[in-house]
């Protein structure tokens, strides 16, 4: 099908919940993808941080295909090999104790919310169920995840939302500590607010809130859906803040391109859920997990150091470019502040063969973590030339 054929059917049959760019992707390899007409694009989006190893990575395709030839699904009524392997690797790399599998970031956040509330209910009874989330956060599109999202633009139409979320100002220690009242069971935050505009939290702030939470037995939840799986240069971003969360949600990059979400439980919470408390038909799917095992096996210290190094390299190149006033973020999760409107630039970049993201008023880059310097330089050259002409 041509782009026009695809667009026509999309217009007619697909619910219009996305403002799509005028481009369809037909195939890809590494960090380059191709439109139906054969035009090539360097991909600095990874499908929003999902394709950790780029398009059609050989090892990942082999792992997924091998599992497809064995069996595709059996349900969580039975044990499977890929699922337990992912769980083991996640625990080893994070220091967490147990894993529950779902299929998306929002679902992982539903899981951490349920787990936090049950932990508190069992220990302290009713009336201690509030969760302090941050202003400008993003936690997903399901009802509880939306309720935890600290942006009023999302709190519309779908009333009633889930009760019991309170919002604190990111990087404001006094404001956040003031909200840790006796009815609070957990705080929940992204170490780098992604959709909110690529805004990293300050270490001093995170540690102060973490310490207060430990003193009051308030669970500390980190949403690592976007920041996790090597994206920031450590396996999880919280590892750069010297804290050990009680609950972690993970998704996007974990499956290397197939849908997976995970809730990670720490020492305090590892016994909190029992048979019947939570579940998912597709959760822990063997094909998806076989791909995740491949991704996780390759994410050793040398790989993570390379992500950090590439992130620094991208940042230093960006700071030399016209119109760039600031670059924020960690590792290969970067938000670029421009002295001009970002939206039209994204379309021009697309015309010039480069795909980038936005986050609020910023340009956001989430390149595949294993992108080669050759592809990286090609993309950066397109960005540089495009900005020079504005």
Ligand X SMILES: *Cc1c(COP(=O)(O)O)cnc(C)c1O
Q: What single DSSP character describes residue 222?
A: E
- In whole angstroms, the minimum distance from the beta carbon of 139 to ligand X comes to 5
Q: Does 366 bind ligand X (CB under 6 A)?
A: no
Q: Does 111 bind ligand X (CB under 6 A)?
A: no
Q: Does 294 bind ligand X (CB under 6 A)?
A: no
- Rounded CA-CA distance 370/352 in Å is 23
- For every residue of 200-251, DSSP letters joined together read EPPHHHHHHHHHHHHHHT-EEEEE-TTTTTTTTSSSSGGGGTT---SEEEE-
- In whole angstroms, the minimum distance from the beta carbon of 79 to ligand X comes to 26
Quick one: which of 80, 94, 226, 239 contacts ligand X (CB under 6 A)?
Answer: 226
Q: What are phi and psi of 189, to 5 degrees?
A: -155, 155
Q: What single DSSP character describes residue 354?
A: E
**Residue appearing with tokens 């607010």:** 193
Q: Does 237 bind ligand X (CB under 6 A)?
A: no
Q: Does 112 bind ligand X (CB under 6 A)?
A: no
- Rounded CA-CA distance 236/239 in Å is 6
Quick one: which of 110, 195, 246, 294 contacts ligand X (CB under 6 A)?
Answer: 195
- In whole angstroms, the minimum distance from the beta carbon of 38 to ligand X comes to 30
Q: Does 197 bind ligand X (CB under 6 A)?
A: no
Quick one: which of 89, 225, 262, 345 contacts ligand X (CB under 6 A)?
Answer: 225
- Give the nearer residue to ligand X in terms of CB position, either 138 or 241: 138
- Give the nearer residue to ligand X in terms of CB position, either 31 or 258: 258
Q: Does 106 bind ligand X (CB under 6 A)?
A: yes
Q: Which two tokens stand for residue 67?
A: 């599992």
Strand 261-265 versus strand 199-200 pairing type: unpaired
Quick one: which of 28, 54, 105, 200 contacts ligand X (CB under 6 A)?
Answer: 105
> CA-CA distances (angstroms) from residue 8 to 11, 20, 25, 157, 320?
5, 13, 15, 29, 41
Q: Which two tokens stand for residue 132?
A: 């302090």
Which range in 135-143, 158-166, 300-308, 337-345 contacts ligand X by CB under 6 A? 135-143
- In whole angstroms, the minimum distance from the beta carbon of 149 to ligand X comes to 8
- In whole angstroms, the minimum distance from the beta carbon of 252 to ligand X comes to 6
């Amino acid at each position: 099908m041509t782009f026009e054929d695809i667009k026509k059917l999309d217009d007619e049959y697909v619910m219009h919940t996305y403002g799509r760019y005028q481009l369809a992707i037909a195939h890809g390899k590494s960090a380059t993808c191709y439109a139906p007409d054969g035009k090539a694009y360097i991909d600095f989006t990874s499908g929003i941080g999902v394709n950790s190893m780029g398009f059609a990575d050989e090892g990942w395709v082999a792992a997924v295909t091998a599992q497809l030839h064995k069996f595709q699904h059996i349900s969580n009524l039975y044990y499977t090999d890929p699922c337990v392997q992912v769980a083991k690797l996640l625990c080893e790399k994070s220091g967490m104790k147990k894993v529950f599998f779902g299929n998306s970031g929002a679902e992982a956040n539903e899981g951490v919310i349920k787990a936090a509330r049950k932990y508190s209910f069992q220990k302290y009874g009713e009336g201690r169920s509030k969760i302090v989330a941050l202003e400008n956060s993003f936690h997903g599109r399901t009802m509880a995840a939306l309720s935890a999202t600290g942006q009023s633009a999302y709190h519309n139409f779908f009333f009633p939302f889930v009760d019991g979320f309170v919002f604190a100002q990111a990087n404001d220690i006094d404001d956040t500590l003031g909200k840790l009242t006796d009815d609070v069971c957990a705080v929940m935050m992204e170490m780098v607010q992604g959709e909110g505009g690529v805004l990293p939290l300050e270490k001093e702030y995170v540690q102060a809130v973490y310490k207060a939470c430990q003193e009051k037995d308030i669970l500390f939840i980190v949403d690592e859906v976007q920041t996790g799986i090597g994206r920031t240069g450590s396996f999880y971003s919280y590892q750069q803040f010297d804290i050990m969360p009680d609950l972690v949600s993970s998704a996007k990059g974990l499956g290397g391109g197939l849908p997976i979400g995970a809730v990670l439980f720490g020492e305090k919470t590892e016994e909190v859920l029992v048979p019947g408390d939570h579940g998912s038909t597709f959760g822990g799917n063997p094909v998806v997990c076989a791909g995740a095992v491949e991704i996780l096996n390759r994410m050793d210290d040398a790989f993570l150091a390379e992500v950090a190094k590439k992130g620094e390299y991208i940042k230093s190149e960006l700071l030399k470019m016209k119109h760039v006033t600031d670059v924020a973020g960690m590792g290969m999760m970067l938000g670029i502040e421009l002295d001009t409107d970002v939206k039209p630039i994204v379309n021009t970049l697309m015309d010039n063969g480069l795909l980038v993201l936005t986050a609020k008023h910023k340009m956001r880059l989430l390149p595949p973590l294993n992108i080669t310097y050759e592809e990286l330089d090609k993309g950066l050259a397109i960005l540089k030339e495009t900005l020079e002409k504005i």
